[in-house]
Amino acid sequence: MTIRYDGKVAIVTGAGQGLGRSHAIELAKRGAKVVINDLGGSKDGTGGSSEAAQSVVAEIEAMGGEAIANGANVANYDEVEAMVKQTMDKWGRVDILVNNAGILRDKSFAKGSLEDFKLVLDVHLMGTVNCTKACWDIMREQAYGRIVVTTSSSGLYGNFGQSNYGSAKMAVIGLMNTLAQEGAKYDIKINALAPTAGTRMTEGLIPEKAFDLLTPETVTPAVLFLVSEDAPTRTILGAGAGSFAVAKIVETAGMWLKPEDQTPEGIAANWDSISSPEGEKVLNAGFEQTVRMLALASEGLGIKLD
Ligand code: NAI
């Protein structure tokens, strides 16, 4: 069955080019009305122009789709609120939010400034928080919402020179984990995309042949799946060059140590068992960790907990 978005309203941030542009165009092709948000700045977040967003609107209109341009800086809550108001005035609802806007300020941790660190957090983390917050009550009232946050392998696994960016990209996973729980009752699903694509962000970092394979269009199906009616929730979906994979945070089965071994030396002596991947599991909520720890302890102590 073809997945479509007829009657749905989507906001895609940073949609003037690169991945966001591709997501927005495909959503529009499949029936969504789309807000093309873009500040139009350079890769490091300086400058700004409304041209990029407007040209994507023109592309969508030329295909017979519906779109409007918006130049809000996602890091500025007042501008984000105005963007959501513009959307509500025009179309009366927000079904889909794709948090995609982003910048880079790469430097080793030793050389990087705290100003750059805060700016990157502001755009990626607070930009995602601002847009999500401005849509949250609308989605709750509609009892429908599909939200994507854009993470990165840099956040999930680390990347030299990207401590600021990696921190921000992992932070949005934390946001997702809690909002998936808080939104469940209102049919709000929230997922994370971990893309790898040839865009101006990665130009010069990837060999040309690989760059040509890593088109934004090969990533977009992942986003479209994650914002569809039957989407999963709280999933991290990696995508690039037409390949797709799910990333998971797991906890090992772990073990309880006897009181006399509850020391750093005891942990060192049992490290192989504590860190063994055998029996590792994805936990669905923070409290599950406490339950598991207590279960191991009560078993070890031979006591029953209610
Ligand atoms: P891009 O630089 O081509 O596009 C990002 C867009 O966001 C630009 O059009 C820019 O004007 C806009 N933007 C930046 N700051 C903004 C702000 N404060 N408010 C509104 N718009 C703003 O980058 P690309 O590669 O398309 O990246 C899209 C997203 O995917 C980003 O969040 C990026 O961190 C993420 N990502 C990209 C990867 C890649 O391989 N290209 C890898 C992992 C994550």
Give me the pLDDT at residue 152, please.
98
9/28 Cα distance (integer angstroms): 9
| Residue 129 burial class via C-beta count within 10 angstroms: exposed 0-12, middle 13-18, buried 19 and up | buried
- pLDDT value, residue 203: 85
Torsion sign across C-alpha atoms 270, 272, 278, 284: positive
**What local confidence, expressed as pLDDT, does residue 58 receive?**
98
| 137, β-bridge pairs | none
164 lines ligand 1 (CB under 6 A): no
What's the CA-to-centroid distance between 192 and ligand 1, angstroms? 15
- pLDDT score for 117: 98
Distance 23 CA to ligand 1 centre (A): 12
Residue type, 58: A
Per-residue pLDDT at 169 = 98
Selection from 208, 244, 197 nearest residue 224 by Cα: 244
Answer whether 133 contacts ligand 1 (Cβ < 6 A): no
Residue among 36, 38, 128 whose CB has most ligand 1 atoms within 8 A, to mutate = 38
For the chain, what is the radius of gyration of the CA atoms?
22
d(CA 227, CA 225) in angstroms, rounded, equals 6
**Ligand 1 atom with least separation from CA of 52:** 9
Q: Give me the average pLDDT of each 10-residue run along the chain (306 residues).
A: 97 98 98 96 81 96 98 98 98 98 97 98 98 99 98 98 98 98 98 96 88 96 98 98 98 98 98 98 96 97 92
Angle at which helices 127-142 and 163-183 cross, to 10°:
10
Distances (CA, A) of 103 to 50, 186, 204, 276, 285: 17, 32, 16, 37, 31
Q: Which of 1, 30, 31, 27 is nearest to 13 (CA)?
A: 27
pLDDT at residue 42 in the model: 83
For residue 118 and ligand 1, the question of a CB distance below 6 A is answered with: no
Contact assessment for residue 5 and residue 90, using Cβ atoms and an 8 Å cutoff: no
Ligand 1 within 6 A of 16 CB?
A: yes
**For 33-61, b where at least 16 C-beta lie within 10 A, e where not — what string?**
bbbbbbbbbeeebeeeeeebbbbbbebbe
How close is the Cα of 126 to the center of ligand 1, in Å?
14
165 part of the active site: yes
| Whether residue 41 has its Cβ less than 6 Å from ligand 1 | yes
Ligand 1 pocket test, pick from 122, 199, 200, 220 with the greatest ligand atom count within 8 Å of Cβ, gives 199
Tokens of 52: 């990029």
Ligand 1 site, residue 13, Cβ cutoff 6 A: yes
By the 8 A CB rule, do 280 and 251 touch? Answer: yes
Question: Which amino acid, residue 147?
Answer: I
255 contacts 261 by C-beta, under 8 angstroms: no
Q: Which of 144, 157, 165, 186 is catalytic?
A: 165
Q: Which residue's CA is the closest to the ligand 1 atom numbered 38?
A: 196
Distance (Å, whole) CA 210 – CA 196: 11
Query: Which tokens go with 186?
Result: 């209102």
What the block records as the tokens of 210 is 């690989």
As a whole number of angstroms, the distance between CA 68 and CA 53 comes to 8
The pLDDT of residue 225: 98
**What element of type H or E holds 18?**
helix 18-29
